[in-house]
Amino acid sequence: MKKLFIYSTTLLLLALVYVSCKKAKKPVVKDTFCSQVRIEVSSTDDEYGKVLFSTKMNRYYIRLADLPPDDECDKYHACYPCELPLEYRKEGMIVRVTGKLEAFNQTETVPKNTCGEMPLFFKISNIRKY
């Protein structure tokens, strides 16, 4: 009887140690950058662009053709796709893109890389090397 009590107590202690040492699952961080609902403002059809990397956003973006300047800054669209395919993640690569341009929401913080940058979210439907 004494042995049964010792074995039972030992098993109970081991079970408690196992449960208390079990690692808690890390929460899944959802990338809200890609899942936001945004308003379409324009579209591109086989337009030239240059692939660049934003250290402020830690993302690749495509700089579309420069817009007519209206002050001392050269204005351009910095189009941030949800995820740029690996073969196009080369800074300075010239590409041709087609897709929808959407305005970022007011709740989203999008730091500009230069004074003339006009950041937009980019839903790419077609991309190819130039």
3-state secondary structure 26-64: CCCCCCHHHHCCCEEEEEEEEEEEEEEEECCCCEEEEEE
Q: Where are the domains of the chain?
A: 38-129
Model confidence pLDDT, tens digit, residues 19-60: 565 555 544 445 678 888 999 999 999 999 999 999 999 999
Amino acid letter, residue 121: F
| CA–CA distance, 19 with 17 (Å, rounded to integer) | 6
Q: What is the pTM of this model?
A: 0.72
- Higher pLDDT among residues 23 and 104, named by residue: 104
CATH topology for the 38-129 domain: OB fold (Dihydrolipoamide Acetyltransferase, E2P) (2.40.50)
Token digits for 80?
A: 């941030």
Distance CA 80, CA 119 (A): 7
